[in-house]
C-alpha cells in the first residue's frame, strides 16, 4: 500500500480529491526543514509545494519512490539525486495560464497609467486643490502601440503574448542570453532589452537563469521601461533593481516573487516605498480556479505513477 505524505498542504486552497487506489494519507499544514526526514521516513510518495528536498534528506528515505511537486518550478528538488536513486519527480503543467497573465497585466496597467501615484495624490488632497477638472501630476501611457519583451516562451509566456497583442502591443520573444544564433520568431536577448517598453519574465530558476537581469541589463533598458517578474525572485539581482529604481534608471517594476520567501529583513526590495514599484506576496498563481486545476492535476500525477505510466516527469 502506498503511503502518501503532503508536507505543506496549507499552500493550496482547493477541494483535494484523494487518490482512488488503496493508500495511507498523511497531511501537514507546513513542515520545517528539521522535520522533513522524520515525516517522510516511511513515505512512498511525497507531496511538496515549496518544502525543499535535497540530497541529505533524500538519502535517508529508502522507501520513497515518487515526489509529486504541487507547482511547476522544481528548483527546490535535487533532481540529480532523484535520478540516481530512481525517484520519479512529476510537476504541474499549464494550470496558471490565465491567472498569472492577468496578474502581469494588472501590474502593467497600474504602472503604465501611474495608478498608485494618482491614488496617493488624491489622498494628499492634490485633486481637491486643482484649478481644473483633471490632474496632470504624472504621465499616463497606453499599452497600445508599446513593445512588450517576453523572456520565456512556454505556456504562460505565450498566453501573455496573446493578451498583449489583443491590447495592440508589439511582442518580442527573447532568445536565450548569450546565444549567437537567433531562432525564427525570436529576437536577440540584448535587442529585447533595448527595444522593449516593458519586460516580463516567465522562466524557471536554474544555473543559467539566476540573476538573468542585473546591473548590465538595466543599463541596456530604456529609462521609460518597466520590469515585471511573476516567475522566480532569483531571476533578478534585487540590489541592482533597487538601485535602478532609486536612480530612475528604469520607470518602474512589478514583482510577485523574491529570492527568499517569506522575505527576511535586509531584502533591498522591502525598503522601496515608491508608487512605481508594486510588490505582491507570490499570489499571481493563486486564482481559485487555477489552484483547483493544480490540485486535480496533482492527484492525477500520483494516480498515473501508481498505475505504471508516470506523467509530467521532470526526473
Q: What is the DSSP string of the chain?
A: -EEEEES-GGG--S--PPPSSSEEEEE-S---GGGHHHHHTT-SEEEESS--B-HHHHTT-TT--EEEESSS--TTB-HHHHHHHT-EEE---STTTTHHHHHHHHHHHHHHTTHHHHHHHHHTTTTTT-SSSS--SS----STT-EEEEE--SHHHHHHHHHHHHTT-EEEEBPPTT-SSPPTT-B-HHHHHHH-SEEEE----STTTTT-B-HHHHHHS-TT-EEEE-S-GGGB-HHHHHHHHHTTSSSEEEES--SSSS--TT-GGGG---TTEEE--S-TT--HHHHHHHHHHHHHHHHHHHTT---SB--
Is the domain of 14 the same as that of 41?
Answer: yes
Same domain, 234 and 149: yes
CATH code of the domain containing 175 = 3.40.50.720
| pLDDT number for residue 219 | 98
Predicted pLDDT of residue 264:
85
pLDDT > 90? residue 252: yes
Tell me what pLDDT residue 38 has. 98
Residue 81 has pLDDT above 90, yes or no: yes
**Mind listing the pLDDT tens digit for each residue in 270-279?**
999 999 999 9
The reply to whether 90 and 165 lie within a common domain is no
Residue 23 has pLDDT above 90, yes or no: yes
At 203 the pLDDT is 97
Same domain, 208 and 271: yes
183 and 136 within one domain: yes
What pLDDT was estimated at residue 15? 96
Question: Percent of the chain, pLDDT > 70?
Answer: 100
Whether residue 271 lies inside any domain: the answer is yes
DSSP string, 166-178: HTT-EEEEBPPTT
Active site residue 232: yes
Cell 527568499 appears where?
260
Residues 6 or more apart in contact with residue 106 via CB below 8 angstroms: none
Q: Catalytic one among 103, 112, 202, 232? A: 232
Judge if 88 and 151 occupy the same domain: no
248 in any annotated domain: yes
Q: Read off the pLDDT of each residue in 79-95 and give the average, rounded to a whole number.
A: 97
Which range of residues forms the domain containing residue 118?
A: 99-279
Classify residue 259 by burial, with Cβ atoms within 10 Å: 0-12, 13-18, 19+. Answer: middle
CA–CA separation, 117 vs 107, rounded Å?
13
User: How many domains does the chain contain in total?
Assistant: 2
| 115 and 37 in a common domain | no
Does 282 participate in catalysis according to the annotation? yes
91 and 170 belong to one structural domain: no
Dihedral over Cα of 98, 104, 106, 112: its sign: negative
Active site residue 2: no
Indicate whether 145 belongs to any domain.
yes
Residues 182 and 221 placed together within one structural domain of the fold: yes
What pLDDT is attached to residue 1? Answer: 94
The mean pLDDT of 23-42, rounded to a whole number, is: 97
Asked if 241 and 217 sit in the same domain, the reply is: yes
Residue 284 lies in a domain: no
Structural domain contains residue 119? yes
* Percentage of the chain lying above the pLDDT 90 cut: 99
pLDDT in tens, 125-172: 999 999 999 999 999 999 999 999 999 999 999 999 999 999 999 999
As a whole number, the mean pLDDT across the chain is 97
- Is it the case that residue 237 has pLDDT exceeding 90? yes
* Catalytic position from the list 59, 261, 271, 313: 261
Q: How large is the average pLDDT for residues 45-74?
A: 97
What is the chain's Cα-based Rg? Answer: 22
Same structural domain, 143 and 130: yes
Q: Say yes or no to pLDDT of 193 above 90.
A: yes
**Within a domain: residue 267?**
yes
With respect to residue 311, please indicate whether it lies within any of the assigned structural domains.
no
**Quick check: is 120 in a domain?**
yes
> Which pLDDT score, from 0 to 100, does residue 20 have?
95
Q: Residue 162 half-sphere exposure, CB side, CA atoms within 13 Å?
A: 10
- For residues 88-95, give the mean pLDDT: 97
Q: Give the pLDDT confidence of 253-294 residue by residue, as tens digits.
A: 999 999 999 998 889 999 999 999 999 999 999 999 999 999
Asked whether 299 and 311 are in contact (CB, 8 A), the reply is no
Whether residue 119 sits in one domain with residue 36: no
Amino acid at each position: 500500500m502506498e503511503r502518501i505524505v503532503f508536507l505543506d498542504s496549507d499552500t493550496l486552497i482547493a477541494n483535494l480529491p484523494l487518490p482512488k487506489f488503496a493508500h495511507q494519507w498523511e497531511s501537514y499544514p507546513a513542515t520545517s526543514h528539521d522535520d522533513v526526514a522524520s515525516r517522510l521516513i516511511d513515505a512512498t510518495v511525497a507531496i511538496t509545494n515549496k518544502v525543499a528536498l535535497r540530497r541529505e534528506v533524500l538519502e535517508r528515505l529508502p522507501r520513497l519512490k515518487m515526489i509529486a511537486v504541487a507547482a511547476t518550478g522544481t528548483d527546490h528538488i535535487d533532481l540529480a539525486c532523484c535520478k540516481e536513486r530512481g525517484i520519479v519527480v512529476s510537476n504541474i503543467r499549464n494550470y496558471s495560464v490565465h491567472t498569472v497573465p492577468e496578474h502581469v497585466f494588472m501590474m502593467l496597467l497600474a504602472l503604465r497609467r501611474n495608478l498608485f501615484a494618482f491614488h496617493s495624490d488624491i489622498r494628499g488632497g492634490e485633486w481637491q486643490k486643482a484649478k481644473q477638472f483633471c490632474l496632470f501630476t504624472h504621465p499616463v501611457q497606453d499599452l497600445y502601440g508599446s513593445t512588450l519583451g517576453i523572456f520565456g516562451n512556454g505556456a504562460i509566456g505565450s498566453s501573455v503574448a496573446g493578451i498583449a497583442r489583443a491590447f495592440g502591443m508589439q511582442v518580442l520573444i527573447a532568445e536565450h542570453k548569450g546565444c549567437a544564433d537567433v531562432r525564427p520568431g525570436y529576437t536577440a536577448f540584448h535587442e529585447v532589452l533595448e527595444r522593449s517598453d516593458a519586460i516580463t519574465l516567465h522562466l524557471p530558476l536554474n544555473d543559467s537563469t539566476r540573476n538573468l537581469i542585473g546591473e548590465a541589463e538595466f543599463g541596456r533598458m530604456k529609462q521609460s521601461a518597466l520590469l515585471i517578474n511573476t516567475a522566480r525572485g532569483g531571476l533578478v539581482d534585487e540590489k541592482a533593481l533597487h538601485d535602478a529604481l532609486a536612480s530612475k534608471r528604469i520607470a518602474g517594476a512589478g514583482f510577485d516573487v523574491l529570492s527568499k520567501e517569506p522575505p527576511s529583513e535586509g531584502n533591498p526590495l522591502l525598503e522601496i516605498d515608491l508608487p512605481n514599484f508594486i510588490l505582491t506576496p507570490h499570489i499571481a498563481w493563486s486564482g481559485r480556479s487555477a489552484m483547483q486545476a493544480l490540485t486535480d492535476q496533482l492527484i492525477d500525477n500520483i494516480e498515473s505513477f501508481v498505475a505504471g505510466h508516470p506523467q509530467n516527469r521532470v526526473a
